[in-house]
Structure 1
Amino acid sequence: MSSSKTKLERWEHRLKKVFDEIDSELEAEGACKKFKRHPNRPPAGATSNREDDGLFDLGAAFTVGIGSQHGPGYVVQARIATLDDVPAATQHKFEAEVARRLRQKLPAAFPGIQLHIDRDGPVYKIHGDLSLGTL
């Protein structure tokens, strides 16, 4: 059996690297420092997966886009991993900051591919050319 990854796996790996980079930046900057990290989560950088440690849990999940104004894409998941109460305004501001950074970083991670980050109802979505191109 071949150990090579499919185009989809390579595409999603690139996307995860972008989210991991944003996570690392936010942790280093002390973003949302008024919140305490969930007691079951190790400190930032302590695990092999940035989603599982530190104060932030960032990622994306594919959706076929039924009922969406933007069609298929990746719903951005940006969570502050805490037991503290996170006011809705703070969560929205955090999500907007993650979306802003995605807009900056995706062109370098996916050169020549037109991707957009827009609100789609209550969430941000990465949409556009999801054809996998030449990976």
Structure 2
Amino acid sequence: MEWAYNVYEDRCPTRMVLDRLADKWAVLILDRLRGAPVRFNHIRRDIKGISQKVLSQTLKRLERDGLISRAVFPTVPVTVEYALTPLGRTLTDTVSALAHWAECNMDAVLAAQEAYDAAVERR
């Protein structure tokens, strides 16, 4: 099958999408939104270590890319919820597999890093 885009070409716009999806915060946000819509502060509490600024920037980028939607409710204070769009939902299995692959394989990665570092020191 031939595609209209080629990710191996240096000027292909797909590189921008891959760059976005390779970001750890984007992966965690997309995985967190896998279920029901979630409020901004709830996302911030759930994803330890993300700053308010980085969360806001990442949400805006994902919204611009059409992967998430933003709903504002006229409450005091204003309530904002984020949810996956139909396009974003096409990524749920992939994003979840990537995020949870890291959890399942972290011990093996750490062992490989230790072995590599030990071999480099012996050189």
TM-score when normalising by structure 1: 0.27
TM-score when normalising by structure 2: 0.29
Which has the larger strand fraction? 1
Q: Which entry has the higher C-alpha Rg, 1 or 2? A: 2
